Structure 1
């Protein structure tokens, strides 16, 4: 048994948060406790980052007018996305894709400006800044689930329009609109799986050994 292994209940809690995490779209309007909100941000800030660059920036949207303006941007992109899906347009338009006007908190997760200053680990893979931010978002997501709160990642927006709306530096990059709040219940399965939009792939089909498409045995 590994020397640094957590006790069994702690391990079970980690896996439970992973398997019960959901991309939530349905929220209750109840406010999020400020202390819990701070813990979630701290969890995000303790994510790994390439070269320890910590490229994440989080903007709390507390102004209801700004929240509505963000919702308008999302709605515009929702319609354009539906049209781009061609034969699945009507099916997509029936999906609930965000909870911006209902959730207790809205955050915009972004990449910082002047990222070209960070070379360590990014000379050949500059997109590692995005990978680092994604780790921070996942930390927050799992912590939120453990705290009994739902979180949803909204990516339906035009980045330049959102950057302009929030007066962000031109070389920064908004990546995610995060809806956070209380829920009546968590989905039994990922919502898009419940709605039969897609199914979870078999891990055996995604795991290779030594060379591409060589199944891992």
Structure 2
């Protein structure tokens, strides 16, 4: 098959796939600041993400107040314990996992969905959750840009959105969706941390691809 005339040079293609393959949800950070220009590049990459109806629903709140960072950490730690209680038999295994690096990382950002989202109907009339899908694309862009520059990112989701909304003085109809830990690392995990810790394993790709109807495996190709 002939390559597309719009394809990048092979080295560039390889670099894109490498960033995707080696991106990790990082929990272990080295102390030290992130270059402000570097952080700005990551946010710019996020802002180039696709969004349904071009609504651009993502908002980034950089946490610079040490007391606010401490408050976010305390809330996440409390939620970690509540999550362990909800897991029942797996509680002990869960409590052994490191699930965030809020106090160690160079930067903490709260990512949220904008307020007044009900005004945006294009692409959301039957699937209003597409604003979340769009913001997730922005976070992935941020993550891949950071990985390409050797900076670790961890997506923390153990929190009560209403509590984080209050801590960050957000409008009532906005919605925090992520606390991002961003910082320098000694090394990137060779595999997803939860896989390394035996929490679960990545499914083979053939288990998640169907053809024409649910559960119907694709036709084998020669």
* Candidates 149, 152, 160, aligned match of 2:151: 149
In the alignment, the residues of structure 2 paired with residue 11 and residue 111 of structure 1 have an alpha-carbon distance, to the nearest angstrom, of 32
Report the 3-state secondary structure (helix = DSSP H, G, I; strand = E; otherwise coil) of the residue aligned with 1:29: coil
For the residues of structure 2 that align with 1:127 and 1:80, how far apart are their CA atoms? 26
Q: CA deviation at 1:59?
A: 0.1
1:4 to 3, 6, 10: 6
For residues 108-142 of structure 1, the C-alpha deviation after alignment (integer angstroms, 9 at most, x for no partner) is 00000000000000000000000000000000000
Q: Which residue of 1 aligns with 2:168?
A: 166
Q: Which residue of 2 aligns with 1:201?
A: 203
**2:62 counterpart residue number:** 60
Unpaired runs of at least 5, structure 1: none
Aligned to 1:78: 80
**For 1:148-170, what per-residue CA distance to the aligned partner results, in whole angstroms no more than 9, with x for missing partners?**
00000000000101101111000
TM-score between the two structures when normalised by the length of structure 1: 0.99
Equivalent residue, structure 2, for 1:122: 124
The whole-number CA distance in structure 1 between the counterparts of 2:214 and 2:132 is 24
Aligned residues: 217
Deviations 1:163-208 (A, max 9, x none): 0111100000000000000000000100000000000001101100
Deviations 1:83-103 (A, max 9, x none): 000000001000000000000
Q: Residue deviations 1:12-36, cap 9 Å, x none?
A: 0000000000000000111101111
State how far apart, in whole Å, the 2-side matches of 1:125 and 1:59 are.
26
- Quick one: distance in 1 between partners of 2:129 and 2:201? 28
Residue of structure 2 in register with 1:186 after alignment? 188
1:32 aligns with 34
* Cα deviation digits, residues 59-106 of structure 1 (max 9, x gap): 000111000000011011100100000000001000000000000000
TM-score (norm 2): 0.97
Unaligned runs of 5+ in 2: none
SS at match of 1:107: strand
Aligned position for 1:50: 52
Q: Distance in 2 between matches of 1:96 and 1:84?
A: 17
Distance 1:185 1:5 in 2: 31
Helix, strand or coil: the match of 2:154? strand
Looking at structure 2, the residues matched to 18 and 87 of structure 1 have their Cα atoms a distance apart, in angstroms, of 34
> Partner of 2:214: helix, strand, or coil?
strand
